């Protein structure tokens, strides 16, 4: 039976990947809504289920095929259910997805997200479709045909993809192979997009790219090739300033800068523009120069720490987070000891730590003979966690007693009488409120307690009520 027989068809998007993947999920949701679909509350009442995949690590594949297996029984019971597989794994393994799950209705690449709604409609009428645009031939105009952001619903935060793809070649990373070369979206279009979002009630934007500091390099080169006399400008810093200046925008975040390209102009923009949040996510990957060289990261541990110190010296109250990979092929105990030292010295507020996962097609996947035994990796992983938690707890304890501005996200999942929000440093804060405050409200909260991954506090004052309607969330897994 078609769950839509008595009303508009309903969709559900499940996001498996990074913030860019999440942004694509929002665009897919927005396009489906523009086509008349409405959000489903669960898989039970969904007529279209979109799996927006990721392939950064191996377990991402396993999760997708596990989920597809379970969706097959749903589809057997309800043949009208449409299953869409999009995202990086679809881009990379289109044939495998089709072969392993022939019942999938639409396989959609990362560079034709804008076609999502049309493909769903076409597949409904004419049967399964696979459409993957080659990353090497995609451009901004094809991928973002509308000048305005497509959103799935109102809310106080929004992602803005400023750059597609990556021109680096980190030995472990599959992203350049699936997301293609770096393409910067036009500066004016991005500012216009942020203005439109602000007019829609958004107060916080996160600028997204794999290497945001090189934003605009391709635009400058293209302008030069066209004969324009343009000077090379640190366009990313300009973009931070321009988006921070948009009326109604209270917070600008971005992710990720590459340590080798973190420029003084970016640090200056962070220091000088009050809207740009005092949070730097600076992926370290390893503290060993030998491993960093094998990874082709383009910096040494010393250089990394110098840049971090420069950022801390200029930006008031800077929170620093990172990504670290444990068990890169050939990582010795000595290499890992350097990672622990650098992590301790960097004094991170938090870190995403990953067990190295070989990705076929990457340079590191050819180094299987240097694989670090799983039990050694597991033990190192735990030791790294201890070091990071130590600095995280210390950084959080130092905040106790301070009054911080918190953007309310909603009731806490564990205790609905407690609200959850985020500070400019991206710290999660739980605090009771005598009156319910809507998501998007900015409040002053005094920090009373600190743990490794969150703060607790008490409400002092409401500084700005929410400006938007309540957002319908995109389901994430």
The annotation places the binding site at: 18, 54, 88, 166, 170, 173
Q: Examine residue 475 and tell whether it contacts ligand F3S (CB under 6 A).
A: no
# chain residues binding ligand F3S, by CB under 6 A:
12
Cα–Cα dist 339/402, whole Å: 32
Q: How far is CA 364 from CA 168, 368, 369, in A?
A: 14, 8, 10
Q: Pick from 50, 68, 129, 170: which binds ligand SF4 (CB under 6 A)?
A: 170
Q: Examine residue 209 and tell whether it contacts ligand F3S (CB under 6 A).
A: no
Q: How far is CA 256 from CA 113, 259, 294, 322, in A?
A: 22, 9, 21, 10
Question: In this structure, are residues 60 and 17 in contact, taking their beta carbons and an 8 Å threshold?
Answer: yes
Listed ranges 132-140, 162-170, 191-199, 406-414: which one lies at the site for ligand SF4 (CB under 6 A): 162-170
- To ligand F3S, the closest distance from the beta carbon of 90 in angstroms equals 10
Reduced to 3 states (helix: H, G, I; strand: E, B; else coil), residue 161 is strand
Cα–Cα dist 77/71, whole Å: 10
Q: Pick from 60, 166, 194, 246: which binds ligand SF4 (CB under 6 A)?
A: 166
Q: Examine residue 18 and tell whether it contacts ligand F3S (CB under 6 A).
A: yes
Return the bridge partners of 420, or none: 410, 430
Q: Pick from 13, 89, 104, 175: which binds ligand SF4 (CB under 6 A)?
A: 175
Burial class of residue 19 (count of CB atoms within 10 Å of its CB; 0-12, 13-18, 19+): middle
Specify binding-site residues for [4Fe-4S] cluster. 18, 54, 88, 166, 170, 173
Cα–Cα dist 452/119, whole Å: 44
- To ligand SF4, the closest distance from the beta carbon of 258 in angstroms equals 5
Q: Examine residue 55 and tell whether it contacts ligand F3S (CB under 6 A).
A: yes
Cα–Cα dist 366/460, whole Å: 56
Question: In this structure, are residues 246 and 198 in contact, taking their beta carbons and an 8 Å threshold?
Answer: yes
Site for ligand F3S in 230-269 (CB under 6 A): none
Q: Examine residue 164 and tell whether it contacts ligand SF4 (CB under 6 A).
A: no
Question: Among 21, 20, 48, 22, which residue's Cα sits nearest to residue 35?
Answer: 48
Q: Which partner, ligand SAH, ligand SF4, ligand F3S, none, binds residue 359 by CB below 5 to 8 Å per kind?
A: ligand SAH
Q: Which partner, ligand SAH, ligand F3S, ligand SF4, none, binds residue 388 by CB below 5 to 8 Å per kind?
A: none
Q: Which string of DSSP letters, residue by residue, matches 281-330?
A: E---B-S-HHHHHHHT-S--HHHHHHHHHHHHHHSTT-EEEEEEEE--TT
Site for ligand SF4 in 193-212 (CB under 6 A): 210-211
Q: Pick from 54, 104, 173, 212: which binds ligand SF4 (CB under 6 A)?
A: 173
Give the residues lining the site for ligand F3S (CB under 6 A): 17-18, 20-21, 54-56, 87-88, 175, 178-179
Give the residues lining the site for ligand SF4 (CB under 6 A): 166, 168, 170, 173, 175-176, 210-211, 258
């Amino acid at each position: 039976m078609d769950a839509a027989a008595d009303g508009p068809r309903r969709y559900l998007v499940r996001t498996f990947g990074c913030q860019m993947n999440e942004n694509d999920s929002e665009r897919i949701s927005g396009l489906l809504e523009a086509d008349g679909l409405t959000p489903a509350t669960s898989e039970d009442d969904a007529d279209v289920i979109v799996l927006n995949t990721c392939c950064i690590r191996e377990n991402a594949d396993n999760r997708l095929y596990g989920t597809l297996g379970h969706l097959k029984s749903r589809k057997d019971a309800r043949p009208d259910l449409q299953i869409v597989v999009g995202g990086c794994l679809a881009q990379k393994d289109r044939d495998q997805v089709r072969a392993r799950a022939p019942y999938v209705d639409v396989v959609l690449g990362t560079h034709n997200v804008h076609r999502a709604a049309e493909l769903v409609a076409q597949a409904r009428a004419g049967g399964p479709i696979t459409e993957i645009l080659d990353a090497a031939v995609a451009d901004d105009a094809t991928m973002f045909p509308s000048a305005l952001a497509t959103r799935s619903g109102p809310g106080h935060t929004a992602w803005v993809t400023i750059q597609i793809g990556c021109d680096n070649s980190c030995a472990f990373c599959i992203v350049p192979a699936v997301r293609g070369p770096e393409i910067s979206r036009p500066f004016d279009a991005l500012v216009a997009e942020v203005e439109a979002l602000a007019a829609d009630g958004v107060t916080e934007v996160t600028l997204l790219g794999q290497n945001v500091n090189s934003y605009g390099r391709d635009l400058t080169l293209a302008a030069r090739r066209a004969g324009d006399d343009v000077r090379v400008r640190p366009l990313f810093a300009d973009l931070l300033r321009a988006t921070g200046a948009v009326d109604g925008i209270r917070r600008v975040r971005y992710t990720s800068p590459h340590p080798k390209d973190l420029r003084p102009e970016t640090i200056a923009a962070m220091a000088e523009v009050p809207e740009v949040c005092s949070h730097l996510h600076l992926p370290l990957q390893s503290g060993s120069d030998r491993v960093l060289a094998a990874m082709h990261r383009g910096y040494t541990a010393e250089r990394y720490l110098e840049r971090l110190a420069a950022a801390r010296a200029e930006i008031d109250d800077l929170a620093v987070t990172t990504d670290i990979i444990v068990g890169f092929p050939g990582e010795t105990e000595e290499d890992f000891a350097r990672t622990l030292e650098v992590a301790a010295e960097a004094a991170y507020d938090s870190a995403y730590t990953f067990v190295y996962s070989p990705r076929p097609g990457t340079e590191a996947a050819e180094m299987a003979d240097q694989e670090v035994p799983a039990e050694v990796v597991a033990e190192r992983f735990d030791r790294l966690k201890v070091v990071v938690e130590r600095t995280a707890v210390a950084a959080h304890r130092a905040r106790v007693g301070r009054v911080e501005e918190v953007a309310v996200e909603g009731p806490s999942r564990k205790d609905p009488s407690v609200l959850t929000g985020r500070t400019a440093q991206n710290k999660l804060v739980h605090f009771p409120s005598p009156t319910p405050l809507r998501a998007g409200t900015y409040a002053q909260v005094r920090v009373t307690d600190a743990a490794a991954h969150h703060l607790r506090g008490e409400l002092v004052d409401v500084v700005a009520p929410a400006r938007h309607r309540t957002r319908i969330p995109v389901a994430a897994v």
